[in-house]
Amino acid sequence: MSKTGKKVKITKRVVDLADPKKSPYIIWDKELPGFGLRVSANGRKAYIVSYRVGVGRGAKQRRVSIAASNTMTCEMARKEAQVYLANARLGEDRREEIDAAAKAEADITVAKAIEIWHAEAAHRNRRTGKARDPRNIRNEMSRMDAHLIPAIGNKKLRELTRRDVELLRDDITAGRTAVVLKTKKHGVRRATGGTGTAKRTMVSFKSVLAYMKDIGLVDQNVAANLRLAPDGKKERYLSVAEAHRLGKCLDEWEQMDRRVTGITIIRLLLMTGARTKEIEELKWSEIDFDRSFFRFEETKSGRSIRPISPQVLDILKGLPRLHPTWVFLNNAGTGPYCGTQAVWRLVREEAGLMDVRKHDLRHSFASFALANGLSLPVIGTLLGHSRPETTQRYAHLSDRHAMEAAKSVGLAVMNALQGRE
């Protein structure tokens, strides 16, 4: 690399006027020995510093690139060069420290990245800066611990590709990442995966990678604009005939004393519209028998008070109190029940409802409520929605029932006009 013959003080004007030549060259600063501007043949310009670490023949000669000229002012680069030169006079090589830090960054795994995000960024919304619900953070970490870390946790973050993330998304959706976990509350819990889990896990991981980019550990977020797991299953609502088939199946299983706990929970899911976890982990203290209310201490939407029907109350009154806390016990008798999904798979097959998911029982409750004239705000209260817009997902059902009512009224008026009863 050739050098200019004359040293000058490197200023913005000098940097701007430094034109490329056939061969790269260096302009050295006359006021700070060792500080220079390297100009490449392709026109790229970078601030550099040259120094020796130590004294004598054994002293190491180093020439380090500080930064590209379009990313740092010459004044800032000069100060950075002064730090390099001061450390060199003390026998310390700042470049080695930077190389070690860079190597450590390059060696960061996906699991470590998630750990950093959890410690530094998970507690606040990245866009609004508002504090996030600790329960949501726990759920996010639980999903990533179950489905993401076993699959790609040991992969180096900088080696992660978009294809890696896409394959993981597809594996979670297909249930190939299913795992049995040990928990304090349940003893064991099966994390099955599926479409919803894939979506939520990918949303969390995109946040992790976005933060890694923010703090400079990766150059790009390989999950940015990633299409979340396609929800091929639309919301399903039981018809009256299908509900009758399901009820008949539940009655037969109860009479045969088959999976009675799971059968009772399934019946309550349809009759209350509650979430599976809310019924599986129902506590005696959460049932107000005198005023017919559920007083859930902890739900997806926080604390929730919901009215329950006399029919539901009768079922709850008829249950034996086998535990001072939990209404429904696991097989070991030590914690809440967690086997409803397995029972549901068997029941829906026998009832001929293979395309119906357990969560669709909640949707069906809303559908029956609308058919019986309840308003969306009231249904939102029964379902425990904290935000009105959540209940708006059932607005199209309300429109459908209104259309059916209009047809019925129109027919009645037409019959009256024509003298038909």
Cα–Cα distance between 289 and 317 in angstroms, integer?
8
The pLDDT tens digits of the residues spanning 206-255 come to: 999 988 887 777 888 999 888 876 555 566 889 989 999 999 999 999 99
Which residues have CB under 8 Å from 164's CB, separation 6+?
152, 155, 222
Tell me the Ramachandran region of residue 231: left when phi exceeds 0, alpha when psi lies from -120 to 50, beta otherwise. beta
Q: Is the dihedral of CA 247, 251, 257, 260 positive or negative?
A: positive
Strand partners, 8: 29
Residue 130 and residue 54 share a domain: no
Supply φ then ψ for residue 8, to 5 degrees. Answer: -135, 160
Encode pLDDT of 108-157 as tens digits. Answer: 899 988 988 888 788 887 766 677 888 888 889 989 999 999 999 999 99
CB atoms within 10 A of CB 49: 26
Cite the DSSP H helix spans in 91-239. 94-106, 110-120, 134-143, 149-152, 162-174, 195-214
The CATH number of the domain holding residue 9 is 3.30.160.390
Do residues 286 and 387 share a domain? yes
Say if residue 397's pLDDT is above 70. no
The confidence score (pLDDT) of residue 286 equals 94
The pLDDT score that the predictor gives to residue 186 is 53
226 CB-near residues (< 8 Å, 6+ apart) = 162, 165, 166, 169, 202, 206
Q: Which two tokens stand for residue 91?
A: 């026998």
- Give the pLDDT confidence score for residue 164 in this predicted structure: 92
Statement: residue 169 has pLDDT above 80? yes
On whether the CB atoms of residues 266 and 359 are closer than 8 A, the answer is no
The domain that holds 349 is classified in CATH as 1.10.443.10
Query: Residues, the chain, total?
Result: 421
Residue for token pair 């060259």: 25
In a domain, 347, yes or no: yes
H-helix or E-strand containing 68? strand 60-68
The answer on pLDDT for 105 being more than 70 is no
Q: How many domains in the chain?
A: 3
Report yes or no on 224 lying in a domain. Answer: no
Residue 7: domain span = 2-104
Mean pLDDT of the region 345-365: 91
**Res. 2: pLDDT tops 50:** no
pLDDT tens-place string over residues 263-311: 999 999 999 999 999 999 999 999 999 999 999 887 766 678 898 899 9
pLDDT of residue 319: 95
For residue 158, being part of any structural domain is answered with: yes
Q: Are residues 208 and 252 in the same domain?
A: no
Q: Which pLDDT band holds residue 160 (cuts at 50, 70, 90)?
A: very high
Does some domain include residue 177?
yes
